[in-house]
Chain A
Amino acid sequence: MPSKYDWPAEGKRSLIGKRISRLDGPDKASGRARYAYDTNRPGGLVAKLLCSPHAHAKITRIDTSEAERAPGVRAVKVMAPAGTEVQWQGFEIAAVAADTEELAQDGVRKIKVEYEILPHLVKEEDVSKAANMIKPSAEETKGNPDSGFSEADAVHEGYYGINTITHCCLESHGQVAEWNGDNCTLYASTQALGRIGGDLAKVLGAEPATANIKPANIRVITEYMGGGFGSKFSIDKWGIVCAQFSKQTGKPVKLMLDRDQELLMAGMRPSDYAKIKLGAKKDGTITAWQHESWSTGGPGGGGAPPIPYVFTEIPNQRKRHIAVSTHTGPARAWRAPNHPQAAALTMCAMDDLAAKLNMNPLDFFIKNLPLTARGDVYKAELLKGAELMDWKTKWHPRGQGGNGYLKRGVGLSLHTWGGRAHDSDCRIVINSDGSVQAQLGSQDLGTGTRTVIGIVAAETLGIPLSGVQVQIGDSNYPPSGASGGSTTVGGVSSSTRRASVKALDKLFEAVAPSLGTTADKLVARDGRIHVEGDPSKSLTWKAACAKLGTKSISEIGRQPARDEGNLNDNGVGGIQMAEVEVDTETGIVSVKKMVAVQDCGLIIDVKTAESQCYGAMIMGVCAALYEERIFDQQTGTMLNADMEFYKLSGIADVGDMVVHMMTGVYDGRGVIGLGEPPAISPPAAISNAVANAIGVRVPTIPLTPDKVLAALEKGGRA
């Protein structure tokens, strides 16, 4: 049943689906945008953390007396008292608040801690060395793996892996806390401004000195935030100590992590390593899959990867997983949790089997699409991708990547993601002067949330985008979900659409008499309200709003809604292809070109949607080629907790990138989240392209020069 809430049909959209520059672009590009890190409150103090230099140790003594006496120091707090067993390097030990950043740092240096060093494990790739740090899970089977393998004409066995990486948000984690009596304002760099205030209140409420603090006492403001990627959902120990310092001193306190702390403890993506065996018939049809995997997510071990990935319907499967606990900073959700790892393991193993069958991987993957949940979507995307990559010309059998020392190759990968809308309330206010506010307790991580809200409200009200003031980034606005898992765009677009329709209905009621009609006969378009089918009977938006007199309209829209309307969905498919050039003398891989073909239902803003894909592919190049937490098992320390040796790609390190959104094709499904899906395939596609170029598999990601050279040597191709 069509509903008034439904998205306007394609020919009737004036803003949705166009290429629109982000609303906050001018503020960001002029340096005016204020992030948590930029919040300077009058009389504010700066706090710094002391973190454990050891991976595993027991604190035997901690003495803060000298720090307390240090110049400019206003407060010192022990976060890990004597007796605490620290489980990773970077573990929070104590904090100091002082008049300036430099004095806070001096104060931290004056804290004396004695440790009893305990044995540690910081590397997990060689699981045989993990001793008592492993937790194997029970074997899972589906169908009959043994007969599946005996039906196969070709069986491939291989070893694959993808390492842990960090989030490395450019704005480190942290916040400014400022109390006014029992009310606290938290300027936080967070993906969950509606959640962390409550979490803080819960902790404070359990302490005698602050037992009266309730969630309503904490207001969270996140006007801008400098990247989260899944690592910024919680209040964290540093958020709590910051608020406590502020309460105790009666002054605003800023605590932002230093870069090394950010890399050591503020988030990492679990690893996954696996021995995989799979078999297929001559025509490419996969008959059986078997794997034994292991991974770490820090002290808590690492969960089983969802493999076989995308090709989940392989009829016969046998799987085993081992969780390895390590003494390293704990895992946090990382853009598309578990999926990039699962794609790397699955797509690389499948690509190797295709090579064994002497099949073009494009044909091999298409042949097996019946084993996926959305074969038609993938097929259309693969064919489109092949055209954009010129796959037919560029693909060659393995090892025929050129005669010189520079070898070229192409590879591909498939991915999927849910992206279901989170809960969201939006308030639309229409004032008698014609101004409009859209208010949501949401946050824009740089994905374009603010812009999407503005577009939906303006489209619905028939006014220009500049006519809507989008007000987000404040927990005082109606609650909207945390921004993670590609759930935001579906949530905020739905609540904004519903609130806008309701508010417009109210406006129609107010102006109908003066147009000599009833509310149900009115439409809003091009900045006017007019009688449907009779544009001569109309009022400008301003004149219409003036009819409200002294009143304003204020309406709430909700997602999920009980009212009718089909505004969003979940579940998308995408494919990516990579072309690389490998220098077989130095082992250096360079990405020449990448193609992304992506479905995400109805796109609200094509420009920012494409940016999500470009950004995801570039992050993927970083992960595929450069990013690595380098640990020294001897000392248990991370050797590159800095941005000089924890490498991200620079502007010259990414090749040409082509993004093709499947616009129009799946619009009827409504809005589906996009942040995660394009971040999944890059490592797999790049690894496959390297295998195609040099004729041998580099088993583990990142594909650093040393590993490329080792693989060439082992494969007799050096």
Chain B
Amino acid sequence: MSEKIRNGSEIARWLLLAAVTVSLIASSAATAQTPASSTPAASQSANAAPAGNAENGKKLYVLYFCWSCHGSQGRAGGTAPAITPSTRSADDLIKYVRKPRGAMPPYTSKSISDRELADIAAFLRAVPKDPDPKSIPLLNQ
């Protein structure tokens, strides 16, 4: 991996992922989830999509700037459509982002791995629903 680390930002990213991995491995017995991906996209080949780890996916969602168009919870950010609430499988998500339609730029395997996308898909599926607008007085003024 070391030859892939080119600067501080990449080191920071690697450290973040490593930290996530350590904490997830520690808790994996309890949560019985798939271990997190431990390496950035550039350093691994495309793997078959595993079930995904939502907690890691949440961090990757931030790291890969998905939030920048879709909002912090994927609920639509004004520049892109909502991607939550989601029932989308990892395979589905991977297929879409590799060659998206419309304004979305492609997240090819050079930019993000299948495993990382599987984690993001798991995170998107875990995002809770919004409340009913009728229950909010501020939206019924």
- Do A and B come together as binding partners? no
Tell me the A residues contacting B by CB distance below 8 Å.
Answer: none
Tell me the B residues contacting A by CB distance below 8 Å.
Answer: none
